[in-house]
Amino acid sequence: MTLAKAGFRGEVFQLHKLNSFNFVMNAHATAMARPILFFFPLMTPTRRFSTAGSSGKPVIEWMERYLMMTAFARNPAITNVRDMAMLRRVEVPGLLGKRPGRPHSDVQSVRQALFGSSRRPSDGG
């Protein structure tokens, strides 16, 4: 996430972020691994890139949290630590957290409605 005038380049290529990225890549290196960075720029109503400024901050913060929650639901071992303490403590049986056993039909219905599958997102569904 960035609101800096330097934009994505100034945010992504900071030394501590490159070190973190390289650590994860080295820890999970396989012949098939390929790093991918996704950028989600804030756009103006006329489909231009938004300039740095605080007006987009609430949207950008919401998007970052949404992406982190989605990534965490898929991979609880995620290495990003920002805002993760709460996600690691919260449990919604059948959706977030780990509970053994088969979920009840109501949980399966919620999963179907939210994810299009009766499986948890972390189960590959």
DSSP assignment of 66-90 equals: HHHHHHHHH-TT----TTHHHHHH-
Give the C-alpha distances (Å, rounded to integers) separating 84 from 1, 56, 62, 64, 75: 15, 22, 14, 12, 12
- pLDDT per residue over 1-44, tens digit each? 666 677 777 777 888 888 888 887 787 766 666 777 788 888 87
- Mean pLDDT over each residue of the chain, to the nearest integer: 75
Phi and psi for 11 in degrees, rounded to 5? -85, -50
Please check whether residue 113 lies inside any domain of the structure: yes
Q: Is the pLDDT of residue 119 over 70?
A: no
The domain of 115 spans: 99-125
The secondary structure of residue 95, as a DSSP letter, is: T
Question: Residue 121: inside a domain, yes or no?
Answer: yes
Does residue 51 lie within any of the structural domains?
A: no
Would you say residue 64 lies in a domain? no
Residue 54 pLDDT class (50, 70, 90 cuts): low
* Residue 42, domain member (yes or no): no
What pLDDT, on a 0 to 100 scale, did the predictor assign at position 79?
Answer: 72
Question: What pLDDT is stored for residue 7 in this prediction?
Answer: 72
pLDDT in the model for residue 125: 44
Residue 48 lies in a domain: no
pLDDT band at 91 (very low <50, low <70, confident <90, very high): confident
Is residue 26 domain-resident?
no
Quick check: is 8 in a domain?
no
Domain count, the chain: 1
Name the burial class of residue 72, with classes exposed (0-12), middle (13-18) and buried (19+) by CB atoms within 10 angstroms of its CB.
buried
User: What's the pLDDT score for residue 97?
Assistant: 65
